[in-house]
């Protein structure tokens, strides 16, 4: 009896499959001493744990402590891991298959891709020597909305998302017993993309501000003449409404100004179709994926304060480009098969970062950027420096950072909150793992905090230092096994000294509130 009691954990982890998996069947689990038995409907098996629906609710039972009876009992010897992945077609069409094939190769497995429908396919993983089947990954490629819907309906184990999970989805997931999807270990930033404004090659406009983009998206700005272009109506092109990229545009550019998306926006089902449509529309503008801009002309982001930022690999990786779009994997609080857990771990490895770059996306491997490659940022800082006090702080920042290298990890906070946003929470785990591995032993790390330019300069300086300390503490708390005596970790704040966007909008001010990491 003690084996079964120890094995049963109510409402914990599970493995569920796609709707194409075998139908659930009744089984009986009996303790090895025969003293206790448990009958219920088998909901999932991950090779180690059974998950049952019983008269006591949903229970998870360790297979090592029980014997399984019934036609629905899975084989403990010939277990085949099954994992369902649903969501963004941008992530699922090339990137995830490339990662899965690289993972299989490193683990001595062969892969076979089987098309099962217009939006679905299955990867069969087999032992390369024996040919024995060890895993099946079921892919459902649609959009971020459908990915979360599949998760909530128990038809997905991993969600591919081009936006952060929304509060309503967090509540629904919690009510469905999937745990708190806002916790750090419930999401991973797989790679980075960006929302890049593009126009036709012959369009004379070369730059646009985020405020102007917001007005275009809401319909308040509808003629190119306002931007120095021809006297012609503006046609806006976006992805379909269920796309995470399109929803990210709405969340980042439209909702903060309390506006609504223009109903006349032209929608496209794929990134390639969007880029092609803009390329052929002399009066069109679109917000496209950095990985698929086609032959359209990207616009520079600018603003009334004079800053200019271009979408490029380094500016996206450091999040200097304000419209960076993280590509998330969301995982419910339930147990996945060992094969799935190993694959998730592989996506964070150095080998995986190479695959991500080859697939055309921005990887997460930390890089060190010399201070002499920060010219555009320092130029922006000089342009907006105000008065003797501003010049003094800019000089102090320059002296402090001189001879240091910037790490390509940035940290930002949720609007109106001291809580780090989803990408920053992932960055915390990444930096903590590097510290635990001794990657920066013998070096000095400086967490540098920055603020927007609203309010008194001394107050902004205090806020910036507080933000830097908050991030430093979060990283140290996460790096539980790191030997911090082997690395110097400090924090400082420079207030409004180096803005990344103009302070003329709530969106711009939010971008400027950040923490960077510098190394010596």
Domain contains 153: yes
If asked whether residues 472 and 511 sit together in one domain, one would say: yes
Name 514's Cβ contacts closer than 8 Å, sequence gap at least 6: 319, 410, 411, 412, 449, 450, 467, 500
Spatial separation of the C-alpha atoms in residues 15 and 322, rounded to whole Å:
38
Domain contains 79: no
Bridge partners of 325? 193
Closest CA to 13 of 55, 58, 56: 58
If asked whether residues 387 and 347 sit together in one domain, one would say: no
Number of H helices, E strands in the chain: 16, 25
Domain contains 80: no
The number of beta carbons lying within 10 Å of the beta carbon of residue 98 is 17
Name 394's Cβ contacts closer than 8 Å, sequence gap at least 6: 381, 382, 385, 497, 498
If asked whether residues 181 and 197 sit together in one domain, one would say: no
Q: How far is CA 165 from the centre of its chain?
A: 10
If asked whether residues 263 and 216 sit together in one domain, one would say: yes
Query: Which two tokens mark 114?
Result: 């089987």
Q: How many domains does the chain fold into?
A: 4
449 with 466: CB under 8 angstroms?
yes
Q: Each residue's pLDDT tens digit in the chain (520 positions)? A: 444 444 443 333 333 333 334 446 789 999 888 888 899 998 878 878 888 888 888 888 888 888 999 988 887 777 889 999 999 999 999 999 999 999 999 999 999 999 999 999 999 999 999 999 999 999 999 999 999 999 999 899 999 999 989 989 999 999 988 889 888 788 889 999 999 999 999 999 999 998 899 999 999 999 999 999 999 999 999 999 988 889 989 988 898 888 999 999 999 999 999 999 999 999 999 999 998 999 999 999 887 777 778 898 888 988 888 888 899 999 988 788 889 999 999 998 989 999 999 998 999 888 898 877 766 677 767 766 777 777 888 888 888 988 899 999 999 887 767 788 888 888 898 899 899 999 999 999 999 999 887 888 888 889 899 999 999 999 999 999 999 899 999 999 998 888 777 777 776 777 788 999 999 9
Bridge partners of 121? 115, 139
Domain contains 322: no
If asked whether residues 300 and 390 sit together in one domain, one would say: no
What is the tens place of the pLDDT at every residue in 53-95?
A: 888 888 888 888 889 999 888 877 778 899 999 999 999 999 9
Spatial separation of the C-alpha atoms in residues 197 and 252, rounded to whole Å:
14
pLDDT at 383: 66
Spatial separation of the C-alpha atoms in residues 122 and 132, rounded to whole Å:
16
Closest CA to 301 of 80, 502, 464: 502
If asked whether residues 302 and 353 sit together in one domain, one would say: no
440 with 487: CB under 8 angstroms?
yes
CATH number of the domain at 463, please. 3.30.1330.60
If asked whether residues 423 and 515 sit together in one domain, one would say: yes
Alpha helices in 304-386 (DSSP H): 313-317, 338-346, 350-358, 375-384
CATH number of the domain at 41, please. 2.30.30
Could you say which of 69, 98, 113 is where a domain stops?
A: 69
If asked whether residues 213 and 274 sit together in one domain, one would say: yes
Spatial separation of the C-alpha atoms in residues 99 and 231, rounded to whole Å:
47
pLDDT at 19: 32
Could you say which of 251, 285, 317 is where a domain stops?
A: 317
- The values of phi and psi at residue 66, to 5°, are -140, 165
pLDDT at 295: 95
Query: Which two tokens mark 83?
Result: 């994992």
Domain contains 78: no
What is the tens place of the pLDDT at every residue in 397-443?
A: 888 988 899 999 999 887 767 788 888 888 898 899 899 999 999 99
If asked whether residues 349 and 278 sit together in one domain, one would say: no
If asked whether residues 373 and 508 sit together in one domain, one would say: yes
Longest Cα pair distance anywhere in the chain, in angstroms? 85
CATH number of the domain at 97, please. 3.40.190.10
> DSSP string spanning 231-265?
S-B-EEEEE-TT-HHHHHHIIIIIGGGT----TT-
If asked whether residues 136 and 282 sit together in one domain, one would say: no
Query: Which two tokens mark 493?
Result: 């704040």
pLDDT at 384: 67
The number of beta carbons lying within 10 Å of the beta carbon of residue 349 is 15
- Please give the residue range of the domain that contains residue 440: 366-519
Query: Which two tokens mark 101?
Result: 């094939």
Spatial separation of the C-alpha atoms in residues 449 and 519, rounded to whole Å:
14
Find the Cα–Cα–Cα–Cα dihedral 303, 304, 308, 309, rounded to 10°. Answer: -20
Domain contains 250: yes
* Torsional class of 172: left (φ above 0), alpha (ψ -120 to 50), beta (otherwise): alpha
Query: Which two tokens mark 124?
Result: 């069969």
Domain contains 280: yes
If asked whether residues 118 and 20 sit together in one domain, one would say: no
Pairing of strands 81-88, 133-142: parallel
pLDDT at 14: 35
Name the E strands within 341-475. Answer: 368-370, 405-412, 444-450
Domain contains 124: yes
């Amino acid at each position: 009896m003690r084996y079964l009691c120890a094995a049963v954990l109510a409402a914990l982890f599970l493995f569920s499959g796609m709707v194409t998996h075998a139908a659930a069947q009744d089984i009986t689990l009996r303790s090895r001493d025969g003293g206790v038995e448990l009958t219920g409907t088998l909901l999932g098996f991950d090779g180690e744990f059974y998950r049952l629906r019983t008269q006591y609710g949903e229970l998870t039972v360790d297979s090592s402590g029980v014997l399984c009876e019934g036609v629905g009992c899975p084989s403990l010897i010939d277990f085949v891991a099954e994992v369902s992945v649903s969501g963004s077609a941008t992530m699922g069409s090339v990137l995830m298959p490339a990662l899965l094939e690289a993972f299989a190769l490193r683990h001595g497995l062969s892969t076979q891709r089987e098309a099962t429908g217009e939006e679905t396919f299955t990867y069969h993983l087999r032992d390369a020597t024996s040919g024995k089947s060890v895993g099946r990954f079921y892919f459902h490629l649609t959009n971020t909305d459908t990915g979360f819907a599949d998760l909530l309906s128990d038809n997905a184990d991993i969600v591919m998302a081009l936006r952060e999970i929304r509060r309503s989805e967090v509540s629904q997931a919690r009510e469905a017993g999937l745990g708190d999807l806002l916790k750090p270990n419930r999401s991973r930033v797989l790679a980075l993309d960006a929302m890049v404004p593009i126009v036709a090659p012959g369009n004379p406009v070369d730059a646009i501000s985020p405020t102007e983009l917001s007005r275009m998206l809401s319909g308040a700005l509808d003629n190119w003449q306002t931007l120095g272009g021809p006297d012609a109506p503006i046609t806006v092109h976006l992805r379909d409404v269920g796309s995470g990229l399109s929803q990210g545009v709405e969340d980042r550019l439209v909702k903060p100004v309390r506006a609504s998306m223009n109903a006349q926006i032209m929608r496209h089902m794929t990134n390639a179709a969007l880029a092609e449509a803009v390329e052929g529309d002399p009066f069109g503008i679109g917000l496209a994926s950095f990985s698929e801009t086609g032959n359209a002309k990207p616009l520079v982001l600018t603003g009334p304060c004079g800053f200019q930022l271009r979408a490029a690999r380094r500016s996206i990786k450091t999040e200097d480009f304000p419209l960076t779009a993280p590509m998330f994997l969301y995982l419910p609080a339930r147990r996945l098969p060992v094969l799935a857990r190993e694959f998730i771990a592989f996506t964070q490895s150095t080998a995986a970062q190479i695959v991500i770059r080859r697939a055309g996306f921005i990887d997460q491997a930390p890089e060190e950027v010399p201070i002499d490659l920060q010219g555009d940022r320092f130029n922006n800082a000089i342009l907006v420096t105000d008065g003797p006090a501003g010049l003094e702080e800019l000089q102090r920042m320059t002296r402090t950072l001189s001879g240091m290298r910037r790490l390509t990890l940035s940290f930002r906070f949720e609007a109106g909150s001291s809580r780090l946003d989803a990408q920053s929470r992932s960055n915390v785990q990444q930096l903590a793992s590097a510290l635990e591995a001794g990657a920066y032993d013998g070096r000095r790390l400086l967490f540098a905090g920055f603020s927007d330019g609203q309010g008194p300069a001394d107050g902004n300086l205090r806020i910036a230092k507080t933000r830097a300390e908050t991030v430093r503490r979060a990283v140290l708390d996460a790096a539980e096994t790191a030997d911090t005596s082997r690395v110097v970790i400090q924090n400082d704040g420079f207030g409004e000294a180096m803005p990344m966007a103009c302070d003329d909008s709530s969106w711009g001010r939010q971008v400027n509130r950040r923490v960077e990491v510098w190394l010596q």
